Structure 1
Amino acid sequence: MILGRDEANKALRAQHGQRGTQARRAAAASVIGTTIEWYDFFLYNTAAALIFPAVFFPESSSYAGAMQSFATYAVGFAARPVGAAIFGYWGDRIGRKTTLIITLLLMGIASGVIGVLPGTDSIGIVAPIMLVVLRLIQGIAVGGEWSGSVLLAMEWGDQRKRGLLASFAQMGVPMGLVLGTGGMTLLSALLPAESFTSWGWRIPFLASLVLVAVGLVIRLRILETPMFAAVVAERRTSSKPVTDAVKHHWREILLSAGLRFSEQMPFYLFTSFVLVYAVEERDLSKTFVLNAVLVAAAIELATIPLFSRLSDSIGRKRVYLSGAILVGALAFPYFAVLKDGSALAIFLIVIASMIPHAMQYGPQAALIGESFPTHLRYGGAGLGYQLASVFAGGPAPLLATWLLHSTGTPFSISAYIVFSAVVTVVCVIVLPDRSRADITDDNVYARTPGKHRTSS
């Protein structure tokens, strides 16, 4: 089962007369869809730090509760490569559009159910078990969402601006963080602490169902990308796209995962672990820390497209390496301020930590997407991107909590961040820069066989 010939031909015709309109719709569908997905995901992250230890692990100590809550958080990351493989297969078989509709529905339904899930006091051990299952579903959905959203905008738009266009999907992260964290911040400020913990935190999860409906309307109005439509028309689709991507592009998959270390791992420390550390170690209010993260995310709405457009001019790798080096340089000053700085200094360092993240996260979508040929791009890019979640993003808050507890100093976490920067720098140097390559030409990809398995 693949994209129908009629729909493929319709997309090919549209690239001549309606390309501008479709490119704008694809960009909108990309950013709005990923905003909804990440809104749901960051809601969970914030709740894992502030709410879930009390609701789902009430008998645990503060340390054990945080560890258990962050463990369920890590489960979602472990599920991401699974989602990348499942939806990577379908994305390179039936097309980007249909696959993205499915991932959006999965994420929305899982988040809505979390919003009505009773706590451990009501249904016992079933509650945390259900929480883990729903987190798995969220992770699978996000695992399949990213590469499709990137390709939707990148494959429809002006190829001279691939860095900027691919970054529309990346914009969903700060927008989702602003909406998800902003919703939690507003409710925690307006409601008494007891009401927020008992029922107030559920409202943003239920609101995601409304956002999903909006996202579906937008995604249903776009056509398949002309690049993938051409693959279908020329009968160049692979019958085993994920297997072929691993077989012929395993180096690119591993390097794509490695280059994410200094982007993803520190990001989840700077937006999730910081909530626990600043509240428990420095006795700052939840609302104060959430506001700092909220402002930092809002600034990224400007810096992500800025650095992405810069990568179109001077190359992805130059911008990306600058961001990775800056993350390593910031690691020890960040925790020095968090440990001993004033409230104002902490607020400012949280904001500053998002600058090097944007320098990497903006160009990252095109850098990874350009590393794979069209007929294997959904699965290959998705696997590379999401594999990092298992080793970098997912374990980060869990390992940071353990390091702090074991060593007694936050500077052990700084060393962890420096290690991630070294991994990234090496991987970026080794990965080819295809910023100006014609990614519709399979000859650009040296390890891609000349003959492709045709559709069945």
Structure 2
Amino acid sequence: MSSKYKNDSVVHPEITTSAAERRRVVAATTIGTAIEWYDYFLYASVAGLVFHKLMFGPLEGGLAAVISFATVGISFLFRPLGAFLAGHYGDKLGRRLVLMVTLFTMGGATALIGLLPTYDSIGVAAPILLVLLRILQGVSAGGEWGGAVLLAVEHAPAKKRGLYGAGPQIGVPAGLLLSSGVLAVMNAIAPGEAFLEWGWRVPFLFSIVLVGIGYYIRRGVEESPVFEELVEITEHEAKHPLKVLFREHTPLVFIAALVFAGNGTVGYMTTGGYIQNYATNTEGLAMDRGGVLIAVTLSAASWMVFTLFAGFISDYLGRRNTYILGFILQAIGVFALFPLVNTGDMMKLTIALLGLTVGLGLTYGQQSAMYAELFPASIRASGVSITYAIGSLLGGAFAPMIAAALVRATGSTTAVTGYLVSATIVGLIAAMILRDRTRIPLGRDHEADQASGHFLFSKV
């Protein structure tokens, strides 16, 4: 950990909220983020299980799966748009407002997917409408994360920033757990053809209930104290935060994005629906759909645990050291993944997915705190949101489609393993380039420190 910031006695005048309010903020951002990502991951899972059959009727064989996974990736192309909008208005109007807008946008698009007719009913209009709704999900996801993590981290005391910031991070595997769990329940209620006919729709329509819960939870949360300080003194407000961000911090944005890309590429093997499709495909392993969904649900629970642990331990080891450990463990999990999955044994598949979540959690839980500590207060929402969106685009966006294309081209998963290991190495190198800034003051009075010293080779 950098000695410049590790002293527990550092005073942070921006933290003025009570411990009870900080707990409410963490609960609201965690639960709200889980609901948002339930919607997002639900699509990815159903793309691998259902959409390649029902929405892309004339496409045969592996090509249908590739195109279906491409629709998963298309949403990532629009995450930067959501990040630009959310970052700009998050720096101008506040983090809380952005979170309410993204919640309703995501939930509305998800519910409409549940009502969408199939290709057999309306022809080519079905995949077109599906893609449009997926784009709305992408815009929403691009704006959600930055607002949620800044509310959590900017309310947190300096020495617990990683732990508080792990709340919204937990929301992501919680969304996977919830979506996989609901799909597993519906697979049991409506097995076989019933699942294809109507069972898959119920989890999408259930989003209406979850949006109502998310609104109720988020409406009472106070705005970030850092943002409130910024609006009190107008000279600290960046009139054009996006322009300032790219003029002064472009290298930082892309190197920090590569850190997340190293995690996202591997994580989207399950969150993007690839493993679910690969394991259950009748032309391949033909494993039981219900069993695979249960295995993914268990892995999501494990991912939550290690994500929380990463946030907690990063407050002591530092963000950078936690990343280095995490990427090493992630590489080990990647090497073991397909040799175990390819056995076709459900227990070994479960072990593979559980093992993978150790490294995934340890390269994810500290992400909120690390990103918040990288950018000056006046442009922080823009910096965090856009860096995350670019990292998602470089990493998770088309990872399932690339994996499907590699298997289709080579006939084996060896190339996929090489692809995932390469992404992990890139993430590791990017994390090692960045200087550890754990516990750097986040308030407006420290913008000079916040704007410099980002890289290990730069002057302090």
TM-score band by shorter chain is: over 0.9
Residue pair 2:153, 2:368 contacting (<8 A) in 1 also: no
Instruction: Spell out the pairing of 1:225-244 with structure 2 (5 A cutoff).
Output: 225-235=224-234, 236-244=236-244
Deviation at 1:261, TM superposition (A): 2.4
Deviation at 1:15, TM superposition (A): 5.9
Match of 2:8 in 1: none
Aligned partner (choices 350, 355, 359) of residue 353 of structure 2 = 350
Mark the CA change 1:279 to 1:162 in structure 2 (over 3 Å): closer, same or farther.
same
Which residue identity lines up with residue 116 of structure 2 in the other structure? L
Distance in 2 separating the partners of 1:33 and 1:332 = 34
Match of 1:103 in 2: 102
Deviation at 1:14, TM superposition (A): 11
Residue pair 2:105, 2:137 contacting (<8 A) in 1 also: yes
Residue pair 2:258, 2:427 contacting (<8 A) in 1 also: yes
1:216-265 per-residue CA deviation (whole Å, 9 max, x = no partner) reads: 12211011111111011111111211221121111221011101122100
Match of 1:57 in 2: 56
Instruction: Spell out the pairing of 1:294-309 with structure 2 (5 A cutoff).
Output: 294-309=297-312
Instruction: Spell out the pairing of 1:232-271 with structure 2 (5 A cutoff).
Output: 232-235=231-234, 236-271=236-271
1:317-351 per-residue CA deviation (whole Å, 9 max, x = no partner) reads: 11111111222233232111122363321221111
For structure 1, the 5+ residue unaligned runs are 1-12, 449-456
1:93-127 per-residue CA deviation (whole Å, 9 max, x = no partner) reads: 00001111111110011001111011111111111
Residue pair 1:155, 1:227 contacting (<8 A) in 2 also: yes
Deviation at 1:29, TM superposition (A): 1.2
State the Cα RMSD in Å. 1.7
Aligned partner (choices 439, 443, 447) of residue 442 of structure 1 = 447
Aligned partner (choices 371, 374, 377) of residue 371 of structure 1 = 374
Distance in 2 separating the partners of 1:447 and 1:386 = 22
Deviation at 1:439, TM superposition (A): 2.1
Residue pair 1:43, 1:180 contacting (<8 A) in 2 also: yes
Instruction: Spell out the pairing of 1:139-178 with structure 2 (5 A cutoff).
Output: 139-178=138-177
Which has the larger share of helix? 1
Aligned to 1:269, the other structure's residue is in SS state coil
TM-score (norm 2): 0.92
Residue pair 2:304, 2:361 contacting (<8 A) in 1 also: no
After alignment, is 20-29 or 44-53 more displaced?
20-29
Residue pair 2:331, 2:359 contacting (<8 A) in 1 also: no
1:258-307 per-residue CA deviation (whole Å, 9 max, x = no partner) reads: 01122100111144211111112222111111111100111222221112
Aligned to 2:347, the other structure's residue is in SS state helix
After alignment, is 304-313 or 279-288 more displaced?
279-288
TM-score (norm 1): 0.93
Residue pair 1:78, 1:390 contacting (<8 A) in 2 also: yes
Distance in 2 separating the partners of 1:195 and 1:77 = 31
Instruction: Spell out the pairing of 1:336-347 with structure 2 (5 A cutoff).
Output: 336-340=339-343, 342-347=345-350
Which residue identity lines up with residue 128 of structure 2 in the other structure? I
Match of 1:390 in 2: 393
Distance in 2 separating the partners of 1:321 and 1:143 = 26
**1:287 corresponds to 2:290:** yes
Distance in 1 separating the partners of 2:417 and 2:323 = 20
Residue pair 2:88, 2:242 contacting (<8 A) in 1 also: yes
Aligned to 1:239, the other structure's residue is in SS state coil
Distance in 1 separating the partners of 2:299 and 2:452 = 41
Match of 2:128 in 1: 129
Aligned residue pairs total 436
For structure 2, the 5+ residue unaligned runs are 1-12, 454-460
Match of 1:181 in 2: 180
Match of 2:338 in 1: 335
1:28-77 per-residue CA deviation (whole Å, 9 max, x = no partner) reads: 11101101100000110111000101110122113111011111111111
Mark the CA change 1:300 to 1:328 in structure 2 (over 3 Å): closer, same or farther.
closer
Aligned to 1:92, the other structure's residue is in SS state helix
Residue pair 1:367, 1:435 contacting (<8 A) in 2 also: yes
Mark the CA change 1:298 to 1:330 in structure 2 (over 3 Å): closer, same or farther.
closer
Residue pair 1:248, 1:447 contacting (<8 A) in 2 also: no
